[in-house]
Amino acid sequence: MSQRVLTTESGAPVADNQNSATAGAGGPILLQDQHLLEKLARFNRERIPERVVHARGSGAYGYFEVTDDVTGFTRADFLSEVGRRTETFIRFSTVADSLGGADAVRDPRGFALKFYTNEGNYDLVGNNTPVFFIKDPVKFPDFIHSQKRDPFTGRQEPDNVWDFWANSPEATHQVTWLMGDRGIPASYRHMNGFGSHTYQWTNAAGEAFFVKYHFKTNQGVRSLSAEQAAEQVGKDANSHQTDLLQAIERGVNPSWTLYVQVMPAAEAADYRFNPFDVTKVWPHADHPLQRVGRLVLDRNPDNVFAEVEQAAFSPNNFVPGIGPSPDKMLQGRLFAYADAQRYRLGINHTQLPVNAPKAATVDNYGRDGLHATRYGSRQDKNYEPNSYAGPAQTGAALASPLAVHGWTGTHEAPLHTKDDDFFQAGELYRLMSADEKDRLVANIAGGLSQVTRDDVIEKNLAHFHAADADYGKRVEEAVRALRED
């Protein structure tokens, strides 16, 4: 095999990649050494801003196969036929830590899935928990600030974490998930995934349904205790990345079964709690799981930076038959996610290979901008409407319209008959075994006991008491015992 020739960025051959050009054998480096200057300048610019949240991630390619007929609920073409396969890319991540953080930590996990459908890319951006800490996007920057490194100490502070939760009672349900046994997955392969938010499906007849997505791992759910996680981080900070990479390389392809819960749109207004509140789940007794298909991961990325770090997801990337709901947190994400990638990767980040549609053709009037690669032919116009046979609108909405009414203003969501910040957290606690309850209480007390302000501790304890009397009593006793040591 012939030796490949090393070149500069402009394609010129490099004569010497071991020694810089100098003025004489021992003289200073010359400014004319174009290869050296280009190499150092490029090195200085190799990193891009990391994601503010979900910075530490791993990814893989695969496919989604429809196993059950759901055409009664949605006209999405990639779900239209049993046996239909669609190429996918998934990015798993931790939420709060930085790009260099460890994998085996107590933190929710991102579960972001891109379907390369023939009607365009569909992004489903969820977590490994069915609920979240807050229900309004105006609180999201403050929430993340409370979980990130403190600007003065430079580390995550229990005072900040628990102070925010103390003043956000709607977080109690997610805190119970996070501090429970599933708070530290053993690997990305051994956790479930959820769309978390409520979405809208619309069928060919125009009937609208609200749905929640559940991806159940076929490997079985496995998690780590706090002690096991600490040991794992010491052995391999990249443990989840290592596990995913090696499993797929061995041909042990992880898979998940997708189920949905379906609610006819007309039922939402009178449901006993707000079905668009992401701090709550829909009980399966009300809306049973209905199987849709199977997600299989079978190929690792060739380049982690190009395909995982530059992967961009937006909940606003819908396809015909799927749309948003009035979930306020989802509504905020429809803007924020795409805007984050415009900042990180530029306005043309959708032209990067991992983000570009694979089964659909992009045809619009977007032109120019940094890193533009799509220009069209010389006859193409960059405005619409035009008289030159350019692309035109279809007039067909992707999803059904949502009725709105009332006065503009900063409103709290209207209360349903059973809206409550604590009931579902108590239900989750009461579902746990005795051993699970022991570990949950120990995990909460371990963090809450480090808080320096008594009033913050008391506010959090009140939330656990409101969820379940035994839950609150046990956490209070455990915190007291740790603080007296």
Phi, psi at 359, each rounded to 5°: -115, 5
Query: Residue 436: what pLDDT?
Result: 96
d(CA 13, CA 30): 19
pLDDT tens figures, 442-474: 999 999 999 999 999 999 999 999 999 999 999
Query: Residue 403: what pLDDT?
Result: 85
- Check pLDDT > 90 for residue 411: no
d(CA 308, CA 91): 7
Across residues 309-317, what is the average pLDDT? 96
131 pLDDT band, cuts 50/70/90, is very high
Considering the candidates 54, 287, 349, 463, report the single residue annotated as catalytic: 54
The angle formed by the CA atoms of residues 441, 442 and 443, to the nearest 5 degrees, is 90
Across residues 169-182, what is the average pLDDT? 97
Residue 378 DSSP SS3: coil
348 pLDDT band, cuts 50/70/90, is very high
- What does the mean pLDDT of the chain come to? 95
Query: Residue 405: what pLDDT?
Result: 83
54 assigned to active site? yes
d(CA 371, CA 345): 9
Residue 219 DSSP SS3: coil
111 pLDDT band, cuts 50/70/90, is very high
The conformation of residue 6, written as its DSSP 8-state character, comes to P
Considering the candidates 35, 121, 127, 274, report the single residue annotated as catalytic: 127
Where are the extended beta strands (E) located within 140-254?
A: 193-194, 199-202, 208-217
192 assigned to active site? no
Query: Residue 417: what pLDDT?
Result: 83
- Check pLDDT > 90 for residue 315: yes
Residue 320 token pair: 């015909």
Residue 479 DSSP SS3: helix
- pLDDT above 70 as % of the chain: 100
- pLDDT above 90 as % of the chain: 88
- Check pLDDT > 90 for residue 60: yes
Query: Residue 365: what pLDDT?
Result: 86
Across residues 191-205, what is the average pLDDT? 97
Across residues 1-22, what is the average pLDDT? 93
**Which is it for strands 85-94 and 57-66: parallel, antiparallel or unpaired?**
antiparallel
d(CA 387, CA 368): 22
Query: Residue 49: what pLDDT?
Result: 94
- Check pLDDT > 90 for residue 354: yes
